[in-house]
C-alpha cells in the first residue's frame, strides 16, 4: 500500500526509545573520540557532543517521565553496531568512522524529530 507519511508516525514510546539510543550513542562515541582521536578539532567536537547529549538525555528523562514512558538504558542494535565499529578503529580510520557516524546520527535525529512532530500534529 502507498503510504502518505503515516508510516512515519510513531508513538511516544518509539520516539523515546530512538532518542534515548541516539543520546547514548552520541555520549559513548563522543567519549571514545575524545580519548582516541589525535585531532584536536575532533576531540573538541566530541566533547561538545558528550555535553549536549548528556543534557538532552536528562531532558528526555524528564519529558518521558511526564508522558509516563520509560526510557531504555540500552542502544538499539544499529547504534550498538556503529559503536562496536568505532571501538575497533584507530587513528585516521577512527576519525573518519566517527565523523561518518556523526553525520548519519545527525540526519537520523532530524528525521526522528520531523516524524515525531508530524505524528503529534496529526493527533
Domains and CATH numbers, the chain: 11-118 (1.20.1260)
pLDDT of residue 10: 80
pLDDT (tens digit, 9 = 90+) per residue, 35-49?
A: 999 999 999 999 999
* 5 torsion bin: left (phi>0), alpha (psi -120 to 50), beta (else): left
Residue 121 binned pLDDT confidence (cut-offs 50, 70, 90): low
Kindly report the pTM of this predicted structure.
Answer: 0.85
- pLDDT band, very low/low/confident/very high, at 11 (cuts 50, 70, 90): confident
Amino acid at each position: 500500500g502507498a503510504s502518505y507519511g503515516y508510516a512515519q508516525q510513531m508513538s511516544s514510546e518509539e520516539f523515546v526509545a530512538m532518542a534515548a539510543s541516539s543520546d547514548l550513542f552520541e555520549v559513548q562515541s563522543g567519549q571514545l573520540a575524545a580519548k582516541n582521536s589525535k585531532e584536536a578539532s575532533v576531540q573538541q567536537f566530541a566533547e561538545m557532543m558528550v555535553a549536549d547529549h548528556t543534557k538532552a538525555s536528562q531532558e528526555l528523562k524528564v519529558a518521558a517521565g511526564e508522558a509516563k514512558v520509560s526510557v531504555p538504558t540500552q542502544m538499539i542494535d544499529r547504534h550498538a553496531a556503529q559503536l562496536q565499529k568505532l571501538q575497533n578503529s584507530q587513528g585516521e580510520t577512527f576519525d573518519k568512522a566517527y565523523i561518518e557516524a556523526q553525520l548519519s546520527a545527525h540526519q537520523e535525529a532530524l528525521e526522528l524529530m520531523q516524524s515525531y512532530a508530524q505524528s503529534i500534529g496529526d493527533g
